[in-house]
Amino acid sequence: MSARIIRRFGLVATVAALAAASAPASAQGSLQDLLNQTRNVRAQEEQLNKQREQEFLRDRNKQSQRLADAKRAQAAEQQRSNTLSAQFDANEKKLTELQSQLDAKAGTLGEMFGVVRQVAGDAASTVHNSLISAQFPDREEFLQNLAQSKALPSIDELEKLWFEIQREMTETGRIVTFEGTVVTPDGAETQQPITRIGSFTAVSDGQFLNFLPESKVLAELSKQPASRYVSTAKDLEAADSGYVNATIDPTRGSLLAVLVQTPGLVEKAQQGGVVGYVIMALALMGILMAIFRFFVLSAVGAKISRQKKNIDTPSEDNPLGRVLSVYTKDTNVDTETLELRLDEAVLREIPPLERGLSALKILAAVGPLLGLLGTVTGMIITFQQIQLFGTGDPKLMAGGISQALTTTVQGLVMAIPMVLLHAFLASRSKALIQVLEEESAGIIAEHAEKARA
């Protein structure tokens, strides 16, 4: 490297000398200055190059030292890697053994976990639909979380699960009164005392309540059952101790809902439609007529009974008296004429005694016919609905079928009492007519004996 520098500067000096030889005398001073400057630069560069060579030698020694240090560090790390690898293999083997032991010991716990999840799910379903949740509304969330949990339950969770199941069983057999929210039929919420019979029935202020699982509150039924059931609810709320009659729904509300939906007498009558109203009107008319005829025949029978006790003095206010007066007016008439006169008098008394019985008999026959008419009308409506809407929705056909069956029942309900009333009144009327015939026959027999004597 120094030789190249010397050759380079020698070439420069030769070129400078040739330039000085060919230059004029006035430029000799400048060339001499250039030469001096070149010498100085050369000296500085040689000194700088020496410093660089020394630094390079020092760096080379340091690099060797660093290389040696790196090789020693590599050997140490390699040894550490071998140690860790051996330790890792040992840990893997130990983990495999421990996992086997854990699986063996966790086998029973896994089965228990499945049972716990199943039991918690069943309990959550029971609690969701239980009206006891209206008093204890914070149970379902815990049971749902436990049923959906992916981890083994803790001791506290197992104890709480047992407690909630036990509480449901205990509360099912208790009759308690507590303050709770009641939703009225118009949607308003009020806080009032609620009497609960286990998980079956709840009443408040004399009204039966229905449990709403989504909101965990009790709501009054939009329509209460018959008064005989409501009265038991009031008695239950008023009782402090002892035994009291109460209405309990063992299906937890299903039977009560069906009972509420059962139509009453007025609703059943309305289901019959126009034909049903006609049947009821005729039935009412027949009953009133039968009652009127019963009192008339009873009054006539009482008068005839009094007249029989006093045969010798006939009265015109009763049929028997009028029949007897036919004989007393002319006792000297012959037997045949007397017989004809008495038969005429008896025949004259029969129509008033049998008045209205034919109408009752006609009503008894008309009732089933009207019921049949309503049945046919209802079936026509049903078939029209089937033709228009098909058979997909049975509710569309319920109205026609209901009318058909209701009018049939109404016709039979009308006919059966009419038949019985007609038979009763007819027998009573015949009994009175028989009295008149017996007395007239007795008078004729007595008169004939007197005539023979």
Could you tell me if 388 and 295 lie in one domain?
Answer: yes
What is the tens place of the pLDDT at every residue in 83-98?
899 899 899 999 988 8
Could you tell me if 178 and 81 lie in one domain?
Answer: no
State the residue for tokens 């308690």.
176
- pTM for the whole structure: 0.51
113 within some domain = no
104 within some domain = no
274 within some domain = yes
Average pLDDT of 329-342? 79
Domain finish residue from 48, 63, 98:
98
Q: Is the pLDDT of residue 238 over 50?
A: yes
Q: Is the pLDDT of residue 351 over 70?
A: yes
180 within some domain = yes
Residues 6+ apart with CB under 8 A from 300: 318, 319, 353, 432
Q: Is the pLDDT of residue 19 over 50?
A: no
Q: Is the pLDDT of residue 332 over 80?
A: no
In this structure, the number of other CB atoms found within 10 A of the CB of residue 362 comes to 14
Could you tell me if 17 and 60 lie in one domain?
Answer: yes
Domain finish residue from 50, 66, 98:
98
Q: How many domains does the chain have?
A: 3
- Predicted local distance difference test score (pLDDT) of residue 2: 43
- Predicted local distance difference test score (pLDDT) of residue 398: 65
Q: Is the pLDDT of residue 215 over 50?
A: yes
Choose between 286 and 269: higher pLDDT.
286
Could you tell me if 193 and 236 lie in one domain?
Answer: yes
Q: DSSP letter for 153, please.
A: P
pLDDT class for 290, splitting at 50, 70, 90? Answer: very high
- Predicted local distance difference test score (pLDDT) of residue 29: 62
- Mean pLDDT, all residues of the chain: 81
- Predicted local distance difference test score (pLDDT) of residue 209: 87
What is the tens place of the pLDDT at every residue in 170-186?
988 888 888 888 888 88
Q: Nearest CA to 205 among 188, 185, 182, 225?
A: 182
pLDDT class for 232, splitting at 50, 70, 90? Answer: confident
- Predicted local distance difference test score (pLDDT) of residue 296: 92
Average pLDDT of 359-364? 90
Could you tell me if 243 and 302 lie in one domain?
Answer: no
Choose between 448 and 358: higher pLDDT.
358
What is the tens place of the pLDDT at every residue in 365-396?
998 898 888 888 878 877 777 777 766 666 66
What does residue 216 show for φ and ψ, rounded to 5 degrees?
Answer: 60, 40
Domain finish residue from 63, 98, 133:
98
- Predicted local distance difference test score (pLDDT) of residue 264: 66
- Secondary structure (DSSP) of 154-171: PHHHHHHHHHHHHHHHHH
pLDDT class for 286, splitting at 50, 70, 90? Answer: very high
Could you tell me if 215 and 345 lie in one domain?
Answer: no
Could you tell me if 247 and 282 lie in one domain?
Answer: no
Most confident of 224-233, 297-306, 330-339: 297-306
- Predicted local distance difference test score (pLDDT) of residue 289: 93
Q: Is the pLDDT of residue 17 over 50?
A: no
Could you tell me if 438 and 294 lie in one domain?
Answer: yes
- Predicted local distance difference test score (pLDDT) of residue 317: 83
Could you tell me if 356 and 417 lie in one domain?
Answer: yes
142 within some domain = yes
Identity of residue 131: L
Could you tell me if 147 and 230 lie in one domain?
Answer: yes
What is the tens place of the pLDDT at every residue in 101-136?
777 766 666 677 788 888 988 988 888 888 888 888
Tokens of 223: 């329509």
Q: Cα–Cα distances in Å, from 375 out to 156, 227, 283, 397, 401?
A: 67, 32, 18, 14, 8
114 within some domain = no
386 within some domain = yes
What is the tens place of the pLDDT at every residue in 52-79?
888 877 777 777 777 888 888 888 888 8
264 within some domain = no
Q: 175 near 196, Cβ under 8 Å? A: yes
- Predicted local distance difference test score (pLDDT) of residue 336: 83
Distance of CA 199 to the CA centre of its chain: 15
Average pLDDT of 31-41? 79
- Predicted local distance difference test score (pLDDT) of residue 5: 40
Could you tell me if 128 and 157 lie in one domain?
Answer: yes
Residues 6+ apart with CB under 8 A from 304: 318, 319, 320, 432, 435, 436
- Predicted local distance difference test score (pLDDT) of residue 1: 43
Domain span at 45: 2-98
Could you tell me if 149 and 285 lie in one domain?
Answer: no
